[in-house]
Amino acid sequence: MAEQTIPQTPNLRAVAIGVSSGGVRALKILLGALPEDFPLPVLVVQHISPEAGNGMARLLDNYCAIRVKEADEQDEVRPATVYLAPPNYHLLVEREGRLALSADPPVSFARPSVDVLFESAAEVFGAGLVGIVLTGANFDGAAGVRAIKAHGGLVIVQDPADAETPQMPAAALAAVKADHVLALAAMPALLRRLAAATAPRAEAADA
C-alpha cells in the first residue's frame, strides 16, 4: 500500500524540522507520535530564547518514545534519534554525517536558524532529505525549503490554516511547491509511511 501512495520514494536519509512560535506544542504532537525505532535521524531547529538552557531537549525526551537530545558538535547523525539545535547556536551537518554548531550571526533574525539547518542538510542528504516547516511567525525556512527542493529533497509544510501561527508555513509555501501540505495531526502517519517505504532499501544500500 505504501508503494501505491508514495511512488518512487528515494532512499530517505534524514528528516529536518523547522518551527517557531507554537513550537513546543507542535513538536510534542509530531515527535510524540514517532516510534522509538523510527528509522531516520530527525534534526530540529526551534526558535528559542538564547538563554533557554537544555530544558527543551529533556522535556521532549521525557515525553516522546523516540530519543531526543540537544545536538552536540561532532555528534554522529544516527537513526531513531532527534537532535535539537541548542539555544544561541546554528545547527549544521557536515559531509561525513556529523553535526556542527556555529555562533555565526543570526540568519533570518534567528539563531538557531531553520534556513541554516535546511541548506546544510540539503547539501549533505540531497534527495534523501525530508524538510518540514511547522507553525511560526516569520519567514525563516523559506530559503531553506528552496535549497531542499534544489537538491531533490522532499518538502512537507503544515497547512497554514492548521498552524498556531501561519506566517512561517505560508512563507515556505510561497517559496516552493511543497510535496505535501497537511495538518500537524496527519504528519506522523505520513512520516512513518515515508520511512517504511524507504527503510528496506536503505538497509540494502548499507549492506
Positions marked active-site: 20, 47, 140
Q: Which of 46, 44, 36, 43 is nearest to 13 (CA)?
A: 43
Q: What's at 13, amino acid-wise?
A: R
d(CA 192, CA 6): 12
Residue span binding other proteins (CB under 8 A) among the ranges 60-68, 98-106, 175-183, 190-198: 98-106
Q: Which of 25, 35, 72, 205 binds other proteins (CB under 8 A)?
A: 72
- Enumerate the β-bridge partners of residue 102: 90
Residue span binding other proteins (CB under 8 A) among the ranges 22-30, 35-43, 71-79, 179-187: 71-79
Q: Which three cell numbers stand for residue 44?
A: 530540529
Q: In this structure, how many other beta carbons lie within 10 angstroms of the beta carbon of residue 165?
A: 19
The yes or no reply on residue 74 touching other proteins (CB under 8 A) is yes
The yes or no reply on residue 86 touching other proteins (CB under 8 A) is yes
Q: Which of 65, 126, 180, 190 binds other proteins (CB under 8 A)?
A: 126
Q: Which of 129, 132, 175, 170 is nearest to 23 (CA)?
A: 132
Q: Is the Cβ of residue 101 or residue 197 nearer to other proteins in the bound state?
A: 101
d(CA 21, CA 165): 7
Q: Which three cell numbers stand for residue 85?
A: 539545535
Q: Is the Cβ of residue 41 or residue 160 nearer to other proteins in the bound state?
A: 41
Residue numbers at the binding site for other proteins (CB under 8 A) = 51, 72-74, 86, 88-89, 92-95, 100-105, 116, 119-120, 123, 126, 151
